[in-house]
Amino acid sequence: MIHRHSGLVFVGHTLAVPLNHADPDGPRIEIFAREVRETGSAAEGRPFLVYLQGGPGSRSPRDLPVWLRRAARDYRVVLLDQRGTGRSTPLTRQTLAGIEDQAGYLAHFRADSIVADAELLRARLAGDRPWSVLGQSFGGFCAVTYLSFAPHGLREVIITGGLPGLTATAEDVYRAAYPRVLAHNERFFKRYPEDEAIARRVVDALRDQDARLPAGDRLTPRRFQTIGINLGSNARFDLLHHLLEEAFAGNELSELFLRRVDAAVSFAEQPLFAVVHEAIYGQGAATGWAAHRVRDEFPAFDLDAGGPVRFTGEMIYPWLFEEDPALVPLAAAADRLAGKPDWAPLYDVDRLAANEVPVAAAVYFDDMYVDRDMSLATAAHIGNLRPWVTNEYAHDGLGRDEHVLDRLLKMVQD
């Protein structure tokens, strides 16, 4: 199907791929990608650039972010719905209901499988020509996996806020993440000091009241605490303040507040994020609910200690699969994934050291989601990579300012 609007042409592509690329004759799923190019015959001859979205478990953009218009000036942009998202055989509690071995199925939704899908899509669209990759956040992790296992398919790679620790365990990741989340809490409450008392009042009210979200599930203090996941984004940082300032209707939590909290803490639209989030760090060992275990090392997040409320960030806890209706049916599968001991490697450190594909990477100095020090160590290890370290942007810099992509394109093409 072809659509035209806003001065652009949109072409949908659907491709059947193996669920398990090691078993090409086994069950198959579909992946979907939307090609975006400028109008006119000249655009049809431009090289391809595939965009790998952050996540895991997020579909490609449905709007027109500023980076997309910039990229379309030089490329035919391929917006890939990574497997399990959007129109790529979506993964939800409904679609998983008929699958007997859910954990075994879900184990095929990491970066290695996404890269293998991308290679089949490249063969369909570009033939034997390599294409360019733009990876944002988790999409950058996928780009590093791409460089590890299929560099022949790459012309150039651009990464924004997504250089992973090549050998970091899940525990390493979360042990480094909790202090960064605390720092973003301090920044938030410095900007809005009155919100400390409101946050405490909300937590106390949730202990005393049976506050129900629109789906009928109870909002507990610890689930409310997870709303800090948005503090690492410039676009959403201040939304927490506007949520808190309308939290109460008299002495009760307002209906408006509960609806907005539900939109922020429910995984109904993105269950794959919760189910495989720790698995993206698994290499050769079980992750074992690392975020939950490591949290005890940071008493500032203890809601029972009597101190100020501090929100958590991009952490997934086992009790979420008891409290979020969208995740309850996936609890057993998630627990099995947390105990899986034999995750395959996601990165080839030797091949990355010898890399010859041009790479440019933005490392956000104050990134809440991806550790700066791990990113810089990875940047130093990957051959032919030029890093740009900046504190001008938060993790969502790519979507906020087209100059981010413009600068990285110049770096990678010099």
Tell me the one-letter amino acid at 304. Answer: D
- Tokens encoding 305: 């200690």
Cβ contact 86:79 at 8 Å: no
**pLDDT tens string 243-252:** 999 999 999 9
Instruction: Name the pTM for this structure.
Output: 0.97
How much is the pLDDT for 414? Answer: 83
Catalytic residue among 137, 148, 233, 375: 137
pLDDT at 42: 86
Check 25, 208, 342, 414 and give the catalytic one: 342
Q: Is 366 known to be catalytic?
A: no
What pLDDT, on a 0 to 100 scale, did the predictor assign at position 348?
98
Task: Give the pLDDT score at 93.
Answer: 84
Contact yes or no for 363/350 (Cβ under 8 A): no
Tokens of 196: 């400390």
How does pLDDT run across 1-52, given as a tens digit for each residue? 899 899 999 999 999 999 999 999 999 999 999 999 999 888 889 999 999 9
Omega before residue 56 within 30° of 0, cis: yes
Question: In this predicted structure, which of 43-47, 298-302, 368-372, 376-380 has the lowest mean pLDDT?
Answer: 43-47
* Residue 137 designated active-site: yes
The mean predicted confidence, pLDDT, of the chain is 96
Strand partners, 344: none
The vertex-15 CA angle with 14 and 18, nearest 5°, equals 145
* Strands 248-249, 28-38: pairing kind: unpaired
Lookup result for tokens 């970066």: 111
Rounded CA separation 98/105 (Å): 11
- Residue among 277, 284, 408, 273 at smallest CA distance from 349: 284
- Taking only the tens place, the pLDDT of each residue in 76-89 is 999 999 999 999 99
Q: Supply the pLDDT for residue 53.
A: 97
- The active-site residue out of 132, 184, 395, 396 is 395
Residue 94 has pLDDT above 90, yes or no: no
108: annotated active-site residue: no
pLDDT given at position 97: 86
pLDDT of residue 306 exceeding 90: no
Phi-psi region of 168 (alpha: psi -120 to 50; beta: other; left: phi over 0): beta
Q: Do 149 and 61 contact (CB within 8 A), yes or no?
A: no
* Predicted confidence (pLDDT) per residue in 381-393, tens digit: 999 999 999 999 9
Query: Does residue 367 register a pLDDT over 90?
Result: yes
* Range 258-263 average pLDDT: 96
Taking only the tens place, the pLDDT of each residue in 222-242 is: 999 999 999 999 888 999 999
